[in-house]
Structures are given as C-alpha cells and as structure tokens.
Structure 1
Amino acid sequence: MKNLFETLKDLENEITPLDEFEIINLENAKDRILAEDLYAQKNLPSFDNAALDGYAFNYADLKESLNIKGVIFAGDNKTYEIGKNECYKIMTGAKMPKNADTILMIEDEFLENNKLIIKKIPKQFNARRLKGEELKQGEFLLKKGTKLNSKHIALLASQGIYKIQVIRKIRIGIFSSGNELKEPWQTCNEENIYNANALPLMTMLDSCEINYLGIIKDDFNIIKSALSKTNFDLLITSGGASVGEADFLEKAFDELGYKAIFKGVKARPARPSKLYKKDKNLALILPGNPMAAYLSCFIFGKKIIHLLSNALEKPLKISAKMGTDLKIKKGRNNFILGDLENEFFIPFNENKFGSGMILPLIKSEFLLISDENVENYTKGEQIWLLKL
C-alpha cells in the first residue's frame, strides 16, 4: 500500500484524457475545459480611442489656447483631424482624431471665448488607447486545457469568439451501498441512518454530467448486476470499501474484469479508498463514513476529473504558518482540518475527530495533508493548505 502522494502520482500514468469534444456557446462556457488553443481575431483596441471624456489635442500645442472644432462621440466612424492649435471634445471610446496624441480629462477643462485653455497640464499621451496595445490580431489568447472562468469569457467575448470547442462533460455515476441507509427524503427510524454521502458528492462534482443511481443493498448479486449495467467515465460508490463480510464491491469488480489501480492508501481517513479500471471506465470506491467519503472524493475524485479533462489548472495551495504544536501519527498521511486565524492555521479540536463526523467539515475551511514521515508540527512552521 502506497502513501497518498505516490498514489496520486500513479494516477497520472493510468488515466488517459478524454478525446471527445463538443461545440458550445459562450454563455455556457463557465467551468468548461478548452479543447483547443485560441488566438485573437482582431486588434484590441481595434482603433486609437479615448480612455475617458475630455479634449483630444496635440501635446506640442500645450501652451496655446485651442480652438474646439466639435465633438466626437463613441460609435462615430468618421475620420477627424486637427491642425495647429485645434482640439476636439471627445467621449470615452470615441476614435482619436488625426494628429492628436493626448487627452485632457473633462474635469480639468477651462473654457474662455469658446476656446480651451489648459491650466492643469496632463502627461503626454494621457488617456489615449492605441490600436492593438492590449492584443494584436493573431496573438495567442488561451491555451488548450484552460478551465474557463468569467474573466476568460470576457476576453473571448471581446474577440467575438462565441462558439468554442471544449472537452465534453465527464459522465459520472454515483451510488451508495448499505442496508442501513435511507435517503434524506425517506422516513428513517433509529436503526437506520440517512445517506449523507451522495448529495454532497454530486454537488462537489457539479461541473460534470452526474447521474445518481440510488442506494444498492449489500447483496453480491444485486451489486454485480448494478455494476454491469453502468457505462460511465467514472463510477463513484460510497460504502463497501472495507474488508467486512458484507463488502462485496471488490469481488464484484474482480469478476467483471476490472483491474485495481490501487487498493487502499496510507492516509487517514482515506485508507479504505480503492480505484478500478476497465478499458476507459473508472470506478472509485469511497469509504462509507461521511467525512472520509467527502475528503477522499475531494482528493481522488477531483484528481481523476482533472486528468480525464486534461485541465491545466491545479489545486490552489495556500501558504500559512502552523498555529500550534501538534503531534500526529507517523507512517501515513494525516488529513488535518482547520481554519486560518490571520496567517496561522488552527487545527479543528486539536485534530481529534472521527471519520463518521460531519461538523468538523462544516467548521473547517482548510485541509493540511501531512507527509508520512512527519510526526510533529511546531508552532510557526511553514505549511501548505488546500481550501475545501
């Protein structure tokens, strides 16, 4: 059994990115993964223009009074020109007149006999935006594998790039295993427990195409039949990951021809997690305890999706300092939940919690994953955190 970081590295060699694409409109592009490099379609700006309302003039005429020839509005496609000691009043986004190189902002205007007197001297080239100063036609825009956010969408919209090619959504099937489980919308007596795993996993992975398959009873034939009828890029189960008598998932996957990529990991509370593969189909078995299932999916589920989509974006690591001395068990990766107070990380309840709990997740915004050789953290020690 390998440690967490070795296991995650192995996944990079075992998981092949999807090679299926689709064309979507820009309004549907948030959180999708680009399937091609994109290039600028036009200069940005596409012509010299004013960055603010004011007066466009030639800086060489600075000490003279300037005749105001008229007003240039945004959207006016005519070509204007100034001569010696002339200027135009100009609106934001309007085309710069020929021979003008500087704009005096409207708040600094001083008019006398219908002439502009410049009393507050601006810098030369003030508020003039040059054609192509931000982007030139044909210039590289975004790299294949980029996970698109609202800022990327603004950039593409500015280029008139409306239809884009993206990796198709990853198809995920989720079910829970256990005779004791009831759904949150069902009646639950004292002998049953509510299924607290499926819905949070679905929302955690909501950028994918999710299909919830419900609760499957602890019966080998039922489990094997259910698994044989699924066809997803990634099948996720919670429960049935340990080695108890009624845990039939491993046997079912073996009989269906799945190959184990890993069976367990030296990490608390993700130890019972397993990953199987058959052709291009993957099956991730998560622990049944809610916290263990959530954190295991946060680490393994997101990593698998990242690899399938061939995304460039990596999990954001946050630098912090340990807020207290902490002793942990050596020989495994420990998942340590907590919060930041200023720049110091404070572990939840001194890292004392059970894998079946949920409140520690609610009360923690960050996750520290220890190296297997670490058994002590010292207050003030530099650490790296993942944001949950």
Structure 2
Amino acid sequence: MDTFEAINFLKTKTKKIQEFELINLNDAKDRILFEDLRAEFDSPAFDNSALDGYAFAYANKDNPLKIKGSIFAGDLEEYKINDDECYKIMTGAKMPKNADTVLMLEDECLENGALIIKTDIKKFNVNRKKAEEFKKGEILLKKGTMLKASHIALLASQGKYKIKVFRKIKICIFSSGNELKEPFESKKDAQIYNANAYSIMAILNHPCFEINYKGIIQDTVSECKNAINTKDCDLIITSGAASVGEADFMKQALFELGFECLLSNIKAKFIKPSKFFAKDNKFVFVLPGNPISAIFSCFLLVKSFLFFTLEQSNFFAVKTCKFKGEINLKGGRNELFLGNIKDKHFIQSKQNSSYMLSILSKNEYLLISKIDKKEIKNDEDVSVIKLDF
C-alpha cells in the first residue's frame, strides 16, 4: 500500500482511549474533550445593553424622558421605568423592566435635564436579548473537540473550571544502533549522534502525549526484547533496525514476543522501511534509521495513528497551490518532495536526500505525489502539507 492507504489503514487499527483525566482550564489548551459540555445558563443570562447609553421604551421615543439614574454592569438591584422615563446605562448592565431600546451615549441630547431623542433609532437598538446566543442545556462543545483559546474562553464564561479530557497517550521512545551516541556525549569518527530520538520527541511534543525517552538500544535481540517489554506505555517507537541489514534485530525480537506485523513495505520514498506491529493493546512503530526517513515516517504515520486514537482527523495543514517547473516520476510509489511556496507556487528543493537534515530547516512544505502519477507539469494544481514541527 502507498502512503495514503497506510494512513487510512492505521485509522482502522486504533484502539480508542476510554479513560479520562479531570483537569482545570489552566491546563486545557490543546487537550481533547472526553464528553459533550452543555451550557449552565442562558447567554446572555439577561437582557443587557451592548453599549453605554440610555435605556427607554421605544413607544416613548418622541417624548422628553426623565433620567431616573444610572445602571452599572454588575448591579444586583432590579430597575424599572414608567412612561416617559429612562435610565442611563453602562455596557453589560441589565436592562430595566419595561425598557427595550438603548440610545447610544454619543447621540444624547439633553434639554432641561430630560433626554430628547432626535436620532432616527430602531426598536431594540443595542439591546442584547436573553438567550440570543444559546440557551441553558444546549451543547456548547462536543466530545472530541481539541480545546483552543476560544473554547477555553467560552467554558470560563459558563463557570466551567474542571473538565474531563482524554487521558494522555503514553509513548516510549528508543533509538537502535551500536554506532549511536547521545548529543551530550563525545563520539569517535565511526560513530554518529542520535538525531532521530530528539526529532521524534519534538514532532510529538503535544499536551495529549506523555513521552518517555528510554535511550539507545544495542544491536542484539535480547536488548530489543527488553525495550519492547517496557511496561506502562501505549505505544513504543524505535528508529533504526527497520530494514534488512544483518544487525536489524527488531523485527525478529517482535516476532519472538508474539507481535504481528500489520504494516510494512510502504510504496513510498523515504518511509518504505517503516513497520507497524501490534499485540493485544500494545503497538510498536519501527522507523528507519536515516534521519529524514525517520522524521517523515513519524510525521505522517505515527502522528496520524496517535491523533486517530484520540478521534481527531484534521491534524495536517493542507494547502493547494500550483507546481513550479516540471518533474518526471518513477511511478509505482509516492515521491516525497520538500519545498516552499512563493507567489502561490510550490518550488521543490534542489536537495532531497535522506541524510541531509539541513534541508528541513530551509523548507516548510511537503509534496506527496500520487502513486499512479508519471509526471507533474508546470502550473498543475498540487496539495502540499505544512511541516509544522
């Protein structure tokens, strides 16, 4: 299967989280609601003025109106007007009984201490009616909503401070290879620094995930087994030992532990060696060792799987633009191209190798060609994914 089929396949293999955490609004940004949330009271809770002005009965607009006093936002007293009366009223203050219209303060005209309405005004002007936004009991936010600042403001306005969200997905991350050293260690010429684990952790740095970095696995079956047997996690991610080299022991270790390989040999450049294993409710992604390959695999496959688990679907920022230039494709697999958008055109990077990490910092978008495409022509419409890591 190709990249798009692999992503759709992963959606069918997710085990939905059935547990929640109770958190407060201070920690709610980007967490996902575990249940529908309903309004505690009408919004607005009472008729109120949208601006500073004078509240009066529209039927008396042609008469001088006696100003009885002022009403401020938060006043608890109940106010009332009779014929030919009005109140000066502040923004958000409760409308007095029998009043239905507000004259804006800048339109005031006072004669002998009475308000004279000379402006052509409409009935119910700037009068915010009770429950015009929503009524008590209506669904404010649905289960599965990823909470943004606008959602948090809405919940706070309804006095909702403690809320239920899906518990965090627990992720353990390893790197595999005798040649690896951590960035804080010294290395010899034949060794390389472990870039994959840190890029994977950065890509998956999200409030919905609890990440535990477990270090480097040595290239032995027993070391791989020990890593896979890690307790108290929902997903294990390893990089390296993913292809068919003599030191690639991860697949053997997984099979010996009773895991089933559900996804492998993806028909796509860079991410082809990626594998996905499952046993009961435990899942393992084995990602390629090449840094760019590991990053693309994590971004496209692992990220998809995790957000599907949390009942999310719109987690890639996709943009449509024109392709600049022409390119011939091999066909039979997805080609992945880094590039940037300029003047509404996608311009592919001249460098596109699986070891060149520097090109990631120079390019913001990823183009994935369709498996049956033989070429992409100049000015052809293409869809590209924003690399938001």
TM band (smaller chain): over 0.9
Alignment partners' CA distance in 2, 1:327 and 1:110: 75
Classify 1:120/1:385 alpha carbon distance in 2 versus 1 (closer, same or farther; 3 Å).
farther
Give 2:266's aligned amino acid.
Answer: V
For residues 106 and 320 of structure 2, what CA distance do their matches in structure 1 show? 44
**If the length of structure 2 is used for normalisation, what is the TM-score?**
0.94
- Identify the residue that residue 284 of structure 1 maps to in structure 2: 285
Q: Take 2:230 and 2:174, find their aligned partners in 1: how far apart are those partners?
A: 13
1:269, 1:114 → 2: CA distance? Answer: 80
Unaligned runs of 5+ residues in structure 1 are none
Contact 1:260 1:274 in 2 (8 A): yes
Q: Distance in 2 between matches of 1:65 and 1:190?
A: 93
Match of 2:71 in 1: 72
Q: Which amino acid in the other structure matches residue 385 of structure 1?
A: V
Whether the 8 Å CA contact 2:7–2:305 is kept in 1: the answer is no
Aligned residue number for residue 130 of structure 1? 129
How many residue pairs align between the two structures? 385
1:242-253 pair list within 5 angstroms: 242-253=243-254
Percent same amino acid among aligned pairs? 50
The answer to whether the 8 A contact 2:367-2:385 is kept is yes
> What secondary structure sits across from 2:335 in the alignment?
strand
Cα distance in 2 for partners of 1:105, 1:327 equals 66
Once residues 253 and 231 of structure 1 are traced to their aligned partners in structure 2, the CA distance between those partners, rounded to angstroms, is: 17
SS of residue matched to 1:268: coil
Identify the residue that residue 311 of structure 1 maps to in structure 2: 312
What's the Cα RMSD here?
Answer: 1.7
> Structure 1 residue 324: deviation in Å?
2.9
Secondary structure, in 3 states, of the residue corresponding to 1:44? Answer: coil
1:137-189 deviations in whole A, cap 9, x for unaligned? 11112111111111111111111222222211000000111122111111233
**Is the contact made by 1:145 and 1:312 (CA closer than 8 Å) also made in structure 2?**
no
Letter in 2 for 1:333: N
Change (3 A) 1:191 1:44: same
Partners of 2:174 and 2:213 within 8 A in 1: yes
* Conserved? CA contact 2:64–2:115, under 8 Å: yes
Shift of 1:252: 0.8
Per the TM alignment, residue 291 of structure 1 is displaced from its structure 2 partner at its CA by 1.3
Q: Which residue of the partner structure matches residue 386 of structure 2?
A: 387
Q: 2:329 aligned with 1:328, yes or no?
A: yes
Shift of residue 248, structure 1, vs aligned partner: 0.7
Q: CA deviation at 1:283?
A: 0.3
Which of 313-322 and 67-76 deviates more? 313-322
Structure 1 equivalent of residue 175 of structure 2: 176
- Is 1:300 the counterpart of 2:306? The answer is no
* Equivalent residue, structure 2, for 1:18: 17
Query: What's the CA shift for 1:312?
Result: 5.2
Matching residue of 2:117:
118
Once the two structures are superposed, residues 197-227 of structure 1 have per-residue CA deviations (whole angstroms, 9 ceiling, x without a partner) of 1122112212200000011122222222222
Give 1:20's aligned amino acid: E
CA–CA distance in structure 2, aligned partners of residues 328 and 83 of structure 1? 81
Aligned to 1:267: 268
1:273 and 1:121 map into 2 onto residues whose CA distance is: 71
Deviation by residue 1:284-341 (Cα, 9 ceiling, x = unmatched): 0111111111111011111111122223544332222223323332111122222222
Contact 1:146 1:312 in 2 (8 A): no
Equivalent-residue separation in structure 1 for 2:324 and 2:109 (angstroms)? 59
- State the Cα distance separating 1:111 from its structure 2 match: 2.6
Residue type matched to 1:66 in 2?
L
Q: Which moved more, 1:56-65 or 1:266-275?
A: 56-65
SS at match of 1:206: coil
The letter of the residue matching 1:320 is: C
What amino acid maps onto 1:38 in structure 2?
A: L
The equivalent residue for 1:37 is 36
CA–CA separation in structure 1 for the residues paired with 2:62 and 2:327: 71
Distance in 1, Cα, partners of 2:370 & 2:200:
26
Secondary structure at the aligned position of 2:306 is classed as helix
1:56-113 CA deviation, whole Å, 9 max, x = no partner? 1223333333221110001112221222232211111100112222222222323332
Match of 2:13, as an amino acid?
A: E
Corresponding letter in the other structure for 1:106: L
Q: Which AA in structure 1 matches 2:261?
A: A
- Is residue 147–residue 313 contact of structure 1 (8 Å, CA) maintained in 2? no
d(CA) in 2 for partners of 1:370, 1:359: 22
Structure 2 stretches lacking a partner, 5+ long: none
**What residue in structure 1 maps to residue 371 of structure 2?**
372
TM-score normalised over the length of structure 1: 0.94
